[in-house]
A and B are shown apart, each in its own frame.
Chain A
């Protein structure tokens, strides 16, 4: 497989490895039918709508398909009207939400939920419990399009930016034991929180902002070693192969990319994942790739977040080493 000269013992290792793998695999006898049963169960569980689980809660009105379309249209109109995302200003991309000086990646996001009723202070929790559902028409625009974590439609809120960053790092970016630094204010209602996988690990800068309900939200994250060009923050992803470009410096150049979207109760689901390859040694090298994705269900909110992450290859923490969160809008076929 290689033209390089073989070291002594190479051929023996080749033969030993082949025998070991053959011996191992012949002893593994999975049950095909049981596997199919389990897949069906999991499929049913993952596509079940949020009302299926949990304690009694506010009755959720059945939304007819035309309402979804109407909601999506309102969202798109809002974008066109400059309420959302990004606008061009002197040829440079400018963040809509009046971000102060900060790294390139910023926020925009989507969807449903109850900012007026949700005031739970959950310093380090994941919004797994479905809360009351609020129509997208009732949600303040800045929260609807600005919050990556927690989702507007969940019932988790943070009064502390550091707690919001810690929860994001642990539950969305999957740091094993994130070392969370002090809040670095940008303006009166926004700033950054440094997060590291270990005390001496590289910094992931988590961007936080106090939105109109006076709670703190994560609106994106950035690192020095992963710079994403496409998709840009707030870019529309259509139901096809999404180009991914940028520059990265990572172990063996490997960057994991996952597209997460939210169900109407604020829980996130994975719509697709892939790997792109930058550089394994300085400086950061360009990466290109593509991501196939498709909507999880018609109940999915029309926004999501792309997480570009590198793993802790030393296995020191067993989790994420660095992570970039890029908020995106999802435009699957049924919204067109």
Chain B
């Protein structure tokens, strides 16, 4: 067990409350789970060095999510360079059958990959909305944008995904 004494009790509490959800939030955006853990660990290191100010749980959670999204965004950009050539990847074959679980998994993966190709803001708004069920105000606070922008990004992102999968379904 780590030397938890090195962490403040407040940060320790935040860690216990948020570590899993932050890793999972990053894992929506990135494939590599160990990389996601790395990003979240770095987030907590940065938060501890940043010092106190954790008396407002809403603000502290928003700060942690914001830093994790920054880290995921940075890595995603590098991935996108490599993946640009693979964007026309073969869509999953449709149709129920004996291999239905595998097909569903493939569909989920295709959806996540489509999500990861959206512009930063759209992708992050959708991840925060569908994973953490945050309100528009909470998403706005996390991303430092207005609630109106949250609406717009969510709508555009979902519309883009719908359009993409309509083509696949045809």
Residue numbers of A with Cβ under 8 A of B are 1-4, 7-10, 12-14, 16-21, 23-25, 28, 30, 32-33, 35-44, 46-47, 251-252, 254, 256, 270-277, 289, 292-294, 296, 311-313, 315-319
Contacts and interface: CB of A to CB of B under 8 A. Distances in A.
A319 B73 CA distance: 11
Contacts of A316: 81
A44 B4 CA distance: 12
A318 B130 contact: no
A16 B24 CA distance: 18
24 contacts: A9-B162, A10-B158, A12-B162, A16-B111, A17-B111, A17-B115, A17-B161, A21-B127, A23-B105, A30-B20, A30-B33, A33-B1, A33-B2, A35-B15, A36-B4, A38-B2, A39-B2, A39-B48, A42-B42, A272-B50, A273-B67, A276-B144, A292-B63, A311-B73
B28 interface: yes
Contacts of B49: 43, 46-47, 271, 294, 296
Q: Which 8 A-B pairs have the closest CB atoms?
A: A2-B155, A13-B162, A294-B51, A20-B111, A40-B2, A315-B80, A9-B162, A20-B108
B126 A289 contact: no
Contact of B165 (A9, A18, A277, A296): A9
B152 interface: yes
B28 A25 contact: yes
Contacts of A19: 108, 111
A310 to B, nearest CB: 11
A28 B112 CA distance: 14
A318 B78 contact: yes
B167 to A, nearest CB: 10
A7 B120 contact: no
A10 B16 contact: no
Interface residues on B, range: 35 or more
A277 B144 CA distance: 8
B64 interface: no
Contacts of B159: 7, 10, 13
Nearest to B121: A252
B166 interface: yes
A334 to B, nearest CB: 12
Contact of B129 (A1, A312, A317): A1
A300 to B, nearest CB: 11
Contacts of B108: 19-20, 23-24
B13 interface: no
B126 A17 contact: yes
B130 A28 contact: no
A321 B6 CA distance: 38
A39 B45 contact: yes
A28 B129 contact: no
B1 A1 contact: no
Given A24-B27, A28-B33, A40-B7, 13 more contacts: A4-B155, A8-B162, A9-B165, A17-B115, A17-B126, A30-B23, A33-B2, A39-B15, A43-B7, A254-B120, A256-B70, A272-B50, A311-B120
A43 B48 contact: yes
A248 to B, nearest CB: 13
A36 to B, nearest CB: 4
B71 to A, nearest CB: 10
Interface in B117-157: 119-121, 126-127, 129-131, 136, 143-145, 149-152, 154-155
A25 to B, nearest CB: 4
B81 to A, nearest CB: 5
Contacts of B162: 7-10, 12-13
Interface string B41-68: 1101110111101000000000100110
A44 B107 contact: no
B3 interface: yes
Contacts of A293: 50
Given A35-B19, A254-B120, A293-B50, A24 B145 contact: no
A9 B163 contact: yes
Given A21-B130, A30-B19, A43 B45 contact: yes
Contacts of A7: 159, 162-163
Contacts of A44: 6
A44 B15 CA distance: 17
B77 interface: yes
A16 B15 contact: no
Given A2-B152, A7-B163, A318-B77, A42 B45 contact: yes
